[in-house]
Amino acid sequence: MALKRVWRGWTSRYFSDEQAVILLILLVAGFTAVLWLGRMLAPFLTALVIAFLLQGAVSRLTRRGISHLTAVISVFVGFLGLLLAVVLLLIPLIWTQLTGLLQEIPQIVSQGQAVLGQLEERFPNLVSPEQMKAWTAMAGREATQLGQQLITLSLASLGNVMTLIIYLVLVPILVLFLLKDRALLLGFFLPFLPEKRTLMSQVWAEMEVQLSNYVRGKAVEILIVSAVSYATFALFGLPYALLLGLLVGFSTLLPYIGAAVVTLPVAAVAGFHFGLTQPFLYVIIAYGVIQALDGNVLAPLLFAEAVNLHPVSIIVAVLFFGGIWGFWGLFFSIPLATLVKALWLAWPRREAPPPA
């Protein structure tokens, strides 16, 4: 009886509003659909994200007196040009550098083992021969497993060529129709929602601002950090500068985690190319300066209007949503955490009745 009374009091306090119940059902249905049908709907979800990114440019053009169709065509042509540049120019360069880096992994591992041997000679009291043998054996096993995984990935990638072609054809078509018929598509779904939707409108208005600011800001941040990192690495003569620059740029998707993870490949390539010399130290210092400027200058400027989230909330959101939805989960982890916070703050509550 006590449990039943507690349950009834809890539901009466948080789910007495009809809008709250409907919103909860829609959220659960949406998350379930993405979770179970995410792979099947991946082209549509990708197109939806891209259309959301481009909608801001379309809206700005229409506010200047340009017709909606002309604005959509102009923005879409620019998107196609950027897509073709990435596919025809950027991806081949990245693939060439990635192939070269994979071929040098055995040499990097061998040089790492030599560095471990030097540690044993310099610090015999700290590094024992047994530890050296264990570290060397572990490095060999990791290199072997990495080689096997790369072979498996290469064989599997042959079957993904058709999927890539489908994406390159289907996603732009979906983006075009999502931009062109945005009002029509929204008008199709609105009748299925209740006429009184104050709570939904409040949450959506807040999330639209936060989500658009975050997505566009994050895209700009990745572009700037990647370009600056590439230019810095190329200036120092570091090989695979483009590949490493992109890794540093995309590491911004994982706050507090990405910078630490990407440090390893940057340090490994710099150490293999320069050895433990002054140029190696300069590269590491420059990399640290880029990360510091991104975290303390660029990100605050781009996300000045973002909802303040505690670092623990951000890390939990990255781990949870990234584990569920992979890349897109990482990309949208902070907006989704913001959605949870907005729902928590806007959710209607009844005051609990005083105890009898």
- Whether 243 and 94 have beta carbons less than 8 Å apart is answered as yes
pLDDT at 231: 94
Check residue 168 and give its pLDDT. 81
Q: Which domain holds residue 258?
A: 197-348
pLDDT digits (tens, 9 = 90+) for 92-131: 777 777 777 767 766 766 666 666 666 556 656 655 666 6
Residue 243 or residue 209, greater confidence: 243
Euclidean distance between CA atoms 284 and 290, whole angstroms: 10
The HSE-up count of residue 186 (CA atoms within 13 Å, CB side) is: 7
266 pLDDT more than 60: yes
User: Which structure tokens are listed for 106?
Assistant: 């055995």
One-letter identity of residue 276: L
* CA 149 from centroid of its chain's CA atoms: 23
pLDDT at 52: 79
286 falls in which pLDDT band (50, 70, 90)? very high
Q: Specify the pLDDT at position 155.
A: 44
Q: Is 182 part of a structural domain of the chain?
A: no
pLDDT in tens, 164-221: 777 788 889 999 999 988 878 777 776 666 666 676 676 677 666 667 777 777 888 8
Let me know if residue 54 belongs to a domain: no
Please check whether residue 266 is in contact with residue 248, taking contact to mean a CB–CB distance below 8 angstroms. yes
Structure confidence at residue 356 (pLDDT): 47
In a domain, 38, yes or no: no
Q: How many domains does the chain have?
A: 1
- What is the percentage of the chain residues whose pLDDT exceeds 70? 63
Of 236, 239, 283, which is closest to residue 98 (Cα–Cα)?
A: 239
Q: What H or E segment, with its residue span, contains residue 128?
A: none
| Residue 210 and residue 306 in contact, taking contact as beta carbons nearer than 8 Å | yes
Say how far apart CA 123 and CA 136 lie, in whole Å.
17
Of 154 and 35, more confident: 35
Provide mean pLDDT across the span 274-279: 82
Q: Name the percent of the chain lying above pLDDT 90.
A: 11
Which pLDDT belongs to residue 48? 82
Q: Is 73 helix (H, G, I), strand (E, B) or coil?
A: helix
In a domain, residue 328? The reply is yes
**In a domain? residue 227:** yes
Q: Can you tell me the distance from the alpha carbon of 239 to that of 344, in angstroms, rounded to the nearest whole number?
A: 48
How far, in Å, CA of 282 to CA of 45, rounded? 42
Predicted TM-score (pTM) above 0.75: no
User: In this structure, is residue 309 part of a structural domain?
Assistant: yes
Position 159 scores a pLDDT of 47
User: Is residue 73 assigned to a domain?
Assistant: no
For residues 259-285, give the mean pLDDT: 85
Give 325-356 pLDDT, tens digit per residue: 776 677 677 777 777 777 776 666 655 555 54
Write down the mean pLDDT value for the chain: 75
CB 109, CB 139: distance < 8 Å: yes
Q: What is the pLDDT of residue 336?
A: 76
Residue 324 within a domain: yes
Q: Is the pLDDT of residue 23 over 60?
A: yes
